[in-house]
Amino acid sequence: MNFFARSIPFAAAAALALLAVGGTGHGVIASAQAQQKTGSATTVTAAGVTLHSVNVELPGSDRMFPGSDADAINSNCLACHSAGMVLTQPKMSRASWQSEVDKMRSTYKAPVAQDDVPAIVAWLVSHKGTGQ
């Protein structure tokens, strides 16, 4: 399963636009849903707003963090980050990587078990550390 491929349904986009301009859009949403199923319409206009349907497929990645010590980072971090994104980050000190992992857990509520944190930080330091 590709966790990184996403598209926004046309009817959902129409609903958000109509709510933004203060409309309820019940008829427009039903029409957009019907048109989406048939694939016949690509635009809808309501309350002075015209939406064009598009499908956007974001690039997927089956790339994983390398190494025999990567179990914790692969199991926890790939839910939100691609390995490629992390591997292109600048090198940082152990304290900085610890702070980043702590921020993911506390600020962004990443479901990372405390027991996995030392292994994640150790992997980051060994592959993207400054040696400090």
For 19-48, what is the mean pLDDT? 60
Please report the pLDDT score of residue 126 as a whole number. Answer: 95
The domain limits of the chain are 10-52, 71-128
> What number of helices (H) and strands (E) belong to the chain?
6, 2
Query: Whole-angstrom distance between the N-terminal and C-terminal Cα of the chain?
Result: 38
Asked whether the predicted pLDDT for residue 3 surpasses 80, the reply is no
Contact by Cβ (8 Å): 120, 129: no
Among all chains, which residue has been given the structure tokens 């027991």?
115
Mean pLDDT of the chain: 79
How many Cα atoms within 13 Å fall on the side-chain side of residue 131? 0
Contact by Cβ (8 Å): 59, 33: no
pLDDT digits (tens, 9 = 90+) for 12-30: 555 555 555 555 545 555 5
Query: Is the model more confident about 96 or about 51?
Result: 96
Domain 71-128: homologous superfamily in CATH: Cytochrome c-like domain (1.10.760.10)
Tokens encoding 117? 């944190």
pLDDT digits (tens, 9 = 90+) for 71-129: 999 999 999 999 989 999 999 999 999 999 999 999 999 999 999 999 999 999 999 99
For 44-61, what is the mean pLDDT? 79
